[in-house]
Structures are given as structure tokens and as C-alpha cells.
Amino acid sequence: MAQSPAAPFTAAPFTLEGKTALVTGSGRGIGRAVARQLASCGASVMLTDIDPAPLEETATELGAHARFLAGDLTAPDFPQRLVDATIAAFGSLDIIVNNAGYVWDNVIQKMTDEQFQAMLNIHLVAPFRVLRAASPWIRDAAKREAAEGRRVMRKVVNITSVSGVDGIPGQAGYGAGKAGINGLTKVLAKEWGRYNVNVNSVGFGLIDTRLIQPIDKNAPPVIEMAGRQIPVGASPALLDAAKAACPLGRIGTVEEAAGAVLFFCSPLSDYVSGEILIVSGGARG
């Protein structure tokens, strides 16, 4: 029996029109790239960072798609204010990307309590507070939609690192915080599945941001956090070795990092939850 020819394959692009995203650490780097990609797909985006200037610049670039609120995400009251401001501005909250973070490295015998706690605060405690603040609205929205016979999928993407999965020397605090966010991801995927929320983690290897800029001995790179000058960057020799060890032979771009996050924010991941996606160019361990 002759078979009918198969229908030609047509790509089905997705849209995020009508969705509201909250992206922490979105003034620069990966967070800014994530915000750009979400906005390009039609989402409205609430931007937040500790520094107002880059936030305002990003918001101006995104135009009507964006609002911003500057503040210290580790302050106990700020996550609730941030969530409330997002819902007040856009009337919804559909995507949460917990991206804010920085490194403050040292070997364990030299790491202070302040260093260790700072890493837990920004990489684990702050995301927990953001998600806790969002939970009443998400729960109520899901119940209302179920009563109307609708299923609306929402997304949480927590940013982790190969340091939290495989370990990197000198990162006891950072690695512990990133491992902790993976545990929170898996717990929340089970708690919020009933509310049609996909909760996943994206773990990065070396991505080309200011945190790994080459170290100049005459002017070592630093970032300012809570009045402290935190050394960042990497030696050129370390960066060369990392490129050589990576199967793709290079460091990732912020746009490539954001692409993996976008997948978990999109309808393409509607049946994926509780997973950790490593984005490292194949470099592990």
C-alpha cells in the first residue's frame, strides 16, 4: 500500500509574550545576556543588581520590556521587596532566574568565616529568600488557573557551577553555595511540580565575564562588595591551561551561557524538572 508523503517539517519557534521574568544579577555579564534573550523572545523583565548604573543602562537598552530595582540581594528584606515590585510592575511572575553571584576564593586554611558566609549568603540564602517570597503568588496563581481548567507552566532557573558539582580548589565557600543551590533545586522541583513549575539548575564552567579577566600584576582586578575590595580574575597561564583542557578549546561567551538558561525558561523544557545542566564546553573534573 502506498504511503502518503510525510508532511514537511516546520520549525515551531516559541514566544515568551505575556510572560514576566525576574533575573538577579542582571546589570552585566551572564545576567544581562539572559535578560536580553528573554526580552528578545517577548518577555517582560525585572532587572536587579547591587549597582544602579549598569542596571539603568540595561533597562534603557531593553526599553518597554524592562524595569529595574537596585539593591543588596543579601539584605533580608530585599528579596520580598523585589518580588513585590515585579508583580506590581507587570502583574505576573512566570520566570525566576537566580543568577546573582561573585567569587571570593581562598584555600580553606586561609578562608575566614566572613568569606565563607558571604558565599553562602549570595549563592544560596538569597535565592532561597527570593523563591520563598514568590511562593504565595505562584501557588495562588496555579490554583486559580486549575479552577479555570488551564495549565500554565512557570520556570525557575538556579545558576550553579562546575565548582558545586565537581569541586575547584580554593572555592570551599563558592563550591558549597553552588552545591547547596543544586539541593534546593531538586527539593523545589518536587514541591512545586503540583503548581506546574519547572525548577532546574544551569552550571557553568569558565565563561568570559569580569570574574575571570586576566590578572595584571600592576593593577590586579577587583570588585567592590559591601565596601570590600574583592580580588577577582585569573592568571593568563591558568586561562591558557583551561582552554587547552576544554574539548572545544575555548572559554564560553555570556551569550552561550544565556542560551542554556533560555532553554529552561522556554516551553521546550515543560517536561524537564529537577535537572542540572552543565555548560562547560565539555570540561569537567
Greater confidence (218 vs 106) lies with 106
C-alpha cell read off for 194: 503540583
**pTM score:** 0.93
Tell me what pLDDT residue 227 has.
79
Which of 166-175, 209-218, 236-245 tops mean pLDDT?
Answer: 166-175
- Identify the three-state secondary structure at position 126: helix
Question: Can you give the length of the chain in residues?
Answer: 285
Greater confidence (141 vs 210) lies with 141
Tell me what pLDDT residue 214 has.
87
- Identify the three-state secondary structure at position 13: coil
Residue 6: pLDDT band (50, 70, 90) is: low
Cα–Cα distance for residue pair 3/26, rounded to 1 Å: 53
Q: Is the pLDDT of residue 118 over 80?
A: yes
Tell me what pLDDT residue 4 has.
56
Q: Is the pLDDT of residue 218 over 80?
A: no
Neighbours of 236 (CB within 10 A): 11
- Identify the three-state secondary structure at position 227: coil
Tell me what pLDDT residue 159 has.
98
Q: Is the pLDDT of residue 178 over 60?
A: yes
All domains of the chain in start order, with CATH: 20-209+251-279 (3.40.50.720)
- The gap from C-alpha 254 to its chain's centroid, in whole angstroms, comes to 12
Residue 13: pLDDT band (50, 70, 90) is: confident
Beta bridge partners of 229: 224
Tell me what pLDDT residue 69 has.
98
271 burial type by CB count under 10 A (0-12 exposed, 13-18 middle, 19+ buried): exposed
- Residue percentage of the chain with pLDDT more than 90: 83
Residue 3: pLDDT band (50, 70, 90) is: low
Q: Are 117 and 175 in contact (CB under 8 A)?
A: no
Kindly report, residue by residue over 127-154, the tens digit of the pLDDT.
999 999 999 999 999 999 999 999 999 9
Q: Where do the DSSP E strands lie in 71-219?
A: 95-98, 154-161, 197-204
Alpha helix (H) residue ranges in 148-217? 172-192
Tell me what pLDDT residue 225 has.
84
Residue 243: pLDDT band (50, 70, 90) is: very high
- pLDDT mean over 47-67: 96
Residue 164: pLDDT band (50, 70, 90) is: very high
